[in-house]
Structure 1
Amino acid sequence: MGRVYIFTRFERLWHWIQAVLIIGMLITGFEIHGSYHLLGFEQAHRVHTTSVWAFIGLWVFAMFWHLTTGEWRQYIPTMKNIDKIVRFYAVGIFKGEPHPFKPTRERKHNPMQAQTYLGVTMVVTPLIWLSGLAYLFYNELGAAGFRVDLGTIATVHTVGAFLMLAFLIGHIYLGTTGHTPMAHFRAMVTGWDDDH
C-alpha cells in the first residue's frame, strides 16, 4: 500500500471553509424560514447574509484558482466506467468489494463524483445564489421595474436549500465509504490518500 498526494493545501482549505459556510447558511436559513428558533430572526439573517458574501468571495477566488491551475478539468464529466461505479455503490460496497476507481492527481473524482459536483456547481448553486440575491435585493428589483413574487423567490430558494442539504448528507455518507470510515476525511485533512 502506497500513499498518493491528491488534495493541495488550497483545495483542502477551500473544501472545509465551504463546508462550514454551507452548514452555517443551512442552519441560519432554515431559522429565517421559521423552522426553529436558535439565534433569533435578526441575528440569523445577519449571519446568513455575511456567510453568503463570504461564500461568494470564496467561490470567485476558487474559480480563479481552478482556471489558472487547470484544476477545472477535474469536473469534466465522463461516462467511462460509470457502470462499474454505479454497481459498486448499489451492490459492491455492501459485499466489501474494492472500489473500482483509484484517485490520482490527474483524476481525483470518479465519474459519479464529477457529474454530481458539476450538477451542484451548474444547477444547485446558481439556483440558490440567484434566488437568494433576488430575495436580498427584492425591494431594489421592484424599484427597477422587475415584478417577481416574493413567495416564488422564497420557494425556489428553499428548494435549492433542500437540494444542497441532500447533497451534504450524501457527501458525508459517501465520505465514510473508504477502506476505513475515516479514510476519505483524513485525505481531505492531510491531502494524502492511501493507494489501494
Structure 2
Amino acid sequence: MSTEEKIYLYPVWLRIWHAFNALGILVLIYTGLNMQFAKPGFELIRFDLAVTLHNYAGIIVSISYLAFFIGNIVTSNSKYYKIKPKGLRKRLFKQIRYYTYGMFKNEEAPYPISEKRKFNPIQKYTYVVVMYLMVPIIIITGIALLLPELIIEEVYVLSGIFLTALLHAIIGFLISIFLIIHLYFATIGKKPLSNFKSILTGWH
C-alpha cells in the first residue's frame, strides 16, 4: 500500500486510551473470574489480591473511559459513532451476508474503511452499545459495589447488593464475549496483523 493510500484513523490520544483500556479490561477479566470461581484449594491468585487488583484496574478503566468520552466530544472522532436509523436493516443484512458468505468468496467489503467511515454497520452499532451502554453500566455498578452504602438495601425482597453484583457480572461477561469477537474480527484485514499494526501506528 502506498503512502498516498494510507488513512490516519487512530490519533495518539486514541491509541494511548486503547492500550490502557485493553490492559485494564484483561486484568478485570482475570481477577473477576478468580473472584467469581475461587474456592478453598483453588485460586488463580490470592482472593484478597484479586479484589485489590480488580478495584485498581476498575478505577483505571473508569478514568480511561472518561478520557475516551471527553475525547469524542472535543475531537472529530465522534463522527464515527453517529447513529443513522434510516436504512439500518439493509446495511446490517448486507454486512452480515459479507461476513457469512462474501468474504469467503473474496468479494469486496460492502463498507470499506475511509476517512469518513471507520466502522462497518455491525461494528458501529456494536461499539455504540458496548461503549455507551454496557461500559457506563459496569462502571456505575462497580462504583456502587466499592461504596455499598450507596446501594438500595432491598428491591422487591431481593438484596440490592446481590442485584448490583449480578448486573455487574452479567455485563462483565458480555464485555468479555465482545472482546473475544473484537480480537477475531481484528484479524480480518489485508493481512491477519494489519489491523493490529494500525492501532499501533495510527495508519490504516
TM > 0.5 between the two? yes
Name the residue aligned to 1:133: 143
Name the residue aligned to 1:86: 96
- C-alpha separation between the residues in 2 aligned to 1:182 and 1:165? 21
Please report the RMSD computed on the Cα atoms of aligned residues, expressed in angstroms. Answer: 1.8
Q: Indicate conservation of the 8 Å contact 2:134/2:171, yes or no.
A: yes
Pair 1:9 & 2:20 matched: no
Question: TM-score, normalization: structure 1?
Answer: 0.88
- C-alpha separation between the residues in 1 aligned to 2:192 and 2:106? 13
- C-alpha separation between the residues in 2 aligned to 1:184 and 1:81? 23
Question: TM-score, normalization: structure 2?
Answer: 0.85
Q: Which stretch of structure 1 is more off in the superposition, 3-12 or 108-117?
A: 3-12
Query: 1:126 offset after TM fit, Å?
Result: 2.4
Name the residue aligned to 1:43: 49
Pair 1:181 & 2:184 matched: no
Pair 1:34 & 2:43 matched: no
Name the residue aligned to 1:192: 203
SS of the aligned residue for 1:108 comes to coil
Name the residue aligned to 1:172: 183
- C-alpha separation between the residues in 2 aligned to 1:58 and 1:122? 14
- C-alpha separation between the residues in 2 aligned to 1:123 and 1:8? 24
Query: 1:181 offset after TM fit, Å?
Result: 0.9
- C-alpha separation between the residues in 2 aligned to 1:10 and 1:188? 11
* Post-superposition CA distance 1:126-164 (Å, at most 9, x none): 2312222222211x226xxx3141222221111111100
SS of the aligned residue for 2:7 comes to strand
- C-alpha separation between the residues in 2 aligned to 1:101 and 1:17? 29
Equivalent position to 1:72, from 75, 78, 83: 78
The one-letter code of the counterpart of 1:19 is: A
Q: May I ask how many residue pairs the two structures share in their alignment?
A: 189
- C-alpha separation between the residues in 1 aligned to 2:177 and 2:129? 13
Name the residue aligned to 2:111: 101
The one-letter code of the counterpart of 2:94 is: K
SS of the aligned residue for 2:134 comes to helix
Q: Indicate conservation of the 8 Å contact 2:17/2:64, yes or no.
A: yes
- C-alpha separation between the residues in 1 aligned to 2:83 and 2:95? 13
- C-alpha separation between the residues in 2 aligned to 1:128 and 1:3? 36
Equivalent position to 1:156, from 153, 167, 176: 167
The one-letter code of the counterpart of 1:152 is: L
Higher relative contact order (CA 8 A, sep 6+): 1
Query: 1:106 offset after TM fit, Å?
Result: 2.6
Which ranges in structure 1 are unaligned for 5 or more consecutive residues? none
Query: 1:167 offset after TM fit, Å?
Result: 0.3
Pair 1:117 & 2:127 matched: yes
Identity among equivalent pairs (%) = 29
SS of the aligned residue for 1:81 comes to helix
- C-alpha separation between the residues in 2 aligned to 1:8 and 1:188? 9
